[in-house]
Structure 1
Amino acid sequence: MRGTDLERVHLIGIGGAGMSGVARILLARGAAVSGSDAKDSRTVLALRAQGARIAVGGHDGAHLEQLDGPPTVVVSSAIRKDNPELVAAHERGLTVLHRSDALAALMSGRRVACVTGTAGKTSTTSMLTVALQHCGLDPSFAIGGDLTAAGSGAHHGTGDIFVAEADESDGSFLRFSPEVAVVTNVEVDHLDHFGSPAEYAGAFTKFLARIVPGGALVTCVDDPGGERLAAEAEAAGIRVRRYGRTAPGSSGDALLLDHEPVGTGGRVRLRLGSGDEHVLELPVPGEHMALNALAALLAGIELGAPVAELLDGLAGFSGVRRRFEFKGRAGGVVVYDDYAHHPTKVAAALTAARQVAEGRLIVAFQPHLYSRTRAFHREFGAALALADEVVVLDVFGAREDPEPGVSGALVAESVPLPAERVHYVPRWSDVPEVLAKLAEPGDMVITMGAGDVTVLGPEVLTELGRGEEPGPAEDPAAPETPAP
């Protein structure tokens, strides 16, 4: 990395999904990397094993001294301006980059594919990455979740392609210049940053201007926001590739003809343009995942990969951690975990879960952000009603301070199910026992949200399996382990 300002880099909050990806690629390219995080984690331990120097337990300006020489400091939007390390970096006159600027620098010299949208970014980016890997192209990639097979969400590849999940939540996706831009959908979200639905939608219009000359937009035209973008892109002279159930079927488009649930996955029938039909056996459930696969297929074609090999790669896609991730089986109950934290994502995940659940569907939902809970509690309630039993935790505030009158109770009160089937459980530690008492043999429990609800799965399994061992987490079809 000689000749750049990324030879020595300190990342504040290095254990986060996005920040750790940047760190992995920097380390692979020979940079000296340090960082800090609130606590140790599997991610932090892995980065240390790669050579990163990481301080845990709190933030302190002294952590900037871990490298031999002054570093460039990288932050995400989650880092507050009064963070002691960030304050110290400014006082010392160090270069401070937003994560997206650092990632954009790492993309330099490569053909870039960016995947963005309100929902489906991580899964679509992951599918595209796995499909390209199957084609032998070895792309670099940065994804907001860990691939189940690889165990990592970032990689420095030997090929000339860089695949990235482009985060729209803070407008940082406008730092990238993709050759292929995938927009899965455009719905209202992140009003804490954008202020209005119009400003949020307008950011995607600005994103079109970031596509390099000769590049392409891939978008889902089942979504009104996607169809609007397609029209705007064509008016600007940008090549557009449409996909969906309503795609016109013209050259370069992908039409979803049918999706049939099969086991814990689905059989997808599709047509490319006006040509041949193809059948894709997709290992992950849900029509929304079938649409994500079509987006990945079109993006891969735009990058020059052969159709047959892309389809083979998608058929081998084993999922992403925290996206309908199987956690185990105990007491005749299967437990999954999902990152869904927007009403559309919640509805899609529960619809897919319903297709594979043998018995009742029980969801434990943790709202993410006070601003999002205030804005969308009614929509969350409607989406959660797709389950048979609903447990609502209190809000995971993340970067936000609490708001008076905004709690998980707002969501619970908005679920249009009989009161005895909706449970507001504000104490996080009470949730595993509540879920275990609600669940019966044959049921499916799914923990859901972008916060620390993800760590509940093992505790739920412990409660369910009193007197027996939980089933192995790597095998959804594993039989129950008999009680000793």
Structure 2
Amino acid sequence: MTPGLPPAMDRPHFIGIGGAGMSGIAKILAQRGAHVAGSDARESATADALRERGATVHIGHDAAHLATDASAVVVSSAIREDNPELTAAKERGVPVVHRSDALASLMTGLRPIAVAGTHGKTTTTSMLAVSLSALGLDPSYAIGGDLDAPGSNAHHGEGEIFVAEADESDRSFHKYAPEVAIVLNVELDHHANYASMDEIYDSFETFTGKVVPGGTLVIAADQSGAVELTRRIRDLSGLKVVTYGESESADVRIHKVTPRGLSSEVTVLLDGKLLTFTVSVPGRHYAHNAVAALAAGVALGIPAHNLASALGKYTGVKRRLQLKGEAAGVQVIDSYAHHPTEMNADLEAIRGAAGDSRILVVFQPHLFSRTQELGVEMGQALALADGSVVLDIYPAREDPIPGITSELIIDAARAAGADVTPEHAKDAVPDVIAGMARPGDLVLTMGAGDVTDLGPRILDRLSNNSDR
């Protein structure tokens, strides 16, 4: 099956083409034969990967970058209205397409699986992509993170299945009409766009209502927000609901999760039979993600035992407890966790795998609005570590909020008994960690911003120490 190019997408221009979501769509369009161009704020491995696939990538934002024959301009919610390329597109009458509409158009004629939830979307989407590929089904997929190399966040496959990460942050997941939808959890986040849990529930209700008639919703049976959403949509006609989790009432019940170092053995009860498989990343929450992927695949008609075996092929995705290396007897691991629930889950997973090793965290808060609402809980999560270095807030698309700084997190962490070191200079962190770490320790770089850049630098600094 080879879908063609969506309307007006033969010569698209992406503003922010290096972003995780944007680059995936650009890659698929390039693979389908489109002449792809775009711009990004800085050079990156992703930009290079797109160029290797024939895309034109400009660095910096300038109206001159928009080609005269551009068929459409693709934007995300992060692009500001005064962006010069966006302004030029409007002046010239070039159609402006939101990223979610572009992604939705790529799914036309295929069997989409849309993975939603406050946490775990990238991991679960990746698990599905890897396992379906291992079964020879050659799915198309668009993921919010790289599997094993820059540019591996998306693929145009010849199969009939399209697996997509469905982003709730700006309500863009309302654009999709999946055959199977997954809801991993429902929590309050993205405070710039959602003022209350009721707004969150309304948004997820809209998403589940987009499932095609006769389609399936796979939803967590253990997480309170997901349970409430299930209650709210129980009268939705034409929707099959499959619950998964450790609850005795779950349709796909997690019977046991057994830690095996940096992996887990998972046993589920499905259709009255026990099924055991391996998940090659540690932690109960990753086991739950794998079971959600299993349930979704079964909903598409894939034999459970085949899919369970294929899920063992998944070895992780960048930034999701990714081992960056070891130096001077210290392992450095990268974590994308930036919400308190994610922080707790990753720290508990590492604690379970680390034995008696000390855990040191370099945490970079992400967004002023999130810190304002959840900073206390972030600080409390850091109490699970043996020591933490807390950086300044990574602003991403936001302007500062008066009075909201990392001190909110630091104060909460200390109140919870955590050992915390504030550090305003990111460049100083490798030296700080080198002074704290000793052989046998685990260091986590944690956050959704550019804290990930520190992993290799910490390893270099530790290695230099050991050479002296």
Fold match by TM threshold 0.5: yes
2:342 to 345, 348, 352: 345
Aligned to 1:60: 62
Q: CA deviation at 1:417?
A: 6.0
Q: CA deviation at 1:70?
A: 2.9
Aligned to 1:288: 285
Aligned partner of 2:244: which letter? Answer: Y
Q: Is 1:158 aligned to 2:158, yes or no?
A: yes
Q: Is 1:40 aligned to 2:43, yes or no?
A: yes
1-side partners of 2:262 and 2:148: how far apart?
Answer: 15
Q: CA deviation at 1:71?
A: 2.6
Aligned to 1:480: none
Q: Is 1:265 aligned to 2:266, yes or no?
A: no
- Is 2:368–2:400's contact at 8 Å kept on the other side of the alignment? yes
Aligned partner of 1:99: which letter? Answer: R
Aligned partner of 1:63: which letter? Answer: H
- Is 1:9–1:73's contact at 8 Å kept on the other side of the alignment? yes
C-alpha spacing 1:3/1:176, structure 2 compared with 1 (3 Å): closer
- The correspondence of residues 362-377 of structure 1 with structure 2, limited to 5 A, is 362-377=360-375
- Is 2:201–2:229's contact at 8 Å kept on the other side of the alignment? no
Aligned to 2:246: 245
1-side partners of 2:380 and 2:254: how far apart?
Answer: 26
Q: Is 1:464 aligned to 2:466, yes or no?
A: no
1-side partners of 2:229 and 2:212: how far apart?
Answer: 16
1:27 to 18, 25, 30: 30
Aligned partner of 2:66: which letter? Answer: L
Listed one character per residue, the Cα deviations across residues 46-81 of structure 1 (whole Å, up to 9, x for unaligned) are 11111111111x20111002xx61330000111111
TM-score (norm 1): 0.93
Aligned to 2:131: 131
SS of the equivalent of 2:36 reads strand
C-alpha spacing 1:301/1:71, structure 2 compared with 1 (3 Å): same
Listed one character per residue, the Cα deviations across residues 206-245 of structure 1 (whole Å, up to 9, x for unaligned) are 1111110000110111011111222333311321110011
After superposition, the CA RMSD in angstroms is 1.6
- Is 2:23–2:151's contact at 8 Å kept on the other side of the alignment? no
SS of the equivalent of 2:413 reads coil
SS of the equivalent of 1:89 reads helix
Aligned to 1:49: 52
2-side partners of 1:282 and 1:133: how far apart?
Answer: 16
- Is 2:277–2:308's contact at 8 Å kept on the other side of the alignment? yes
2-side partners of 1:369 and 1:135: how far apart?
Answer: 39
Q: CA deviation at 1:150?
A: 8.9
Aligned to 2:171: 171
Aligned to 1:103: 103
TM-score (norm 2): 0.96
Q: Is 1:197 aligned to 2:197, yes or no?
A: yes
2-side partners of 1:199 and 1:234: how far apart?
Answer: 18
Aligned to 1:427: 425
SS of the equivalent of 1:379 reads helix
Listed one character per residue, the Cα deviations across residues 398-432 of structure 1 (whole Å, up to 9, x for unaligned) are 00011121111111111146778111111111111
Q: Which runs of 5+ in 1 are unaligned?
A: 469-482
Listed one character per residue, the Cα deviations across residues 85-126 of structure 1 (whole Å, up to 9, x for unaligned) are 111111111100010000001111111100000011110111
Q: Is 1:116 aligned to 2:116, yes or no?
A: yes
Q: CA deviation at 1:148?
A: 2.6
1-side partners of 2:422 and 2:416: how far apart?
Answer: 13
Q: Which runs of 5+ in 2 are unaligned?
A: none
Aligned to 2:229: 229
SS of the equivalent of 2:193 reads helix
SS of the equivalent of 2:402 reads coil
Q: CA deviation at 1:149?
A: 7.5
Aligned to 1:326: 323
2-side partners of 1:80 and 1:195: how far apart?
Answer: 21
- Is 1:148–1:318's contact at 8 Å kept on the other side of the alignment? no
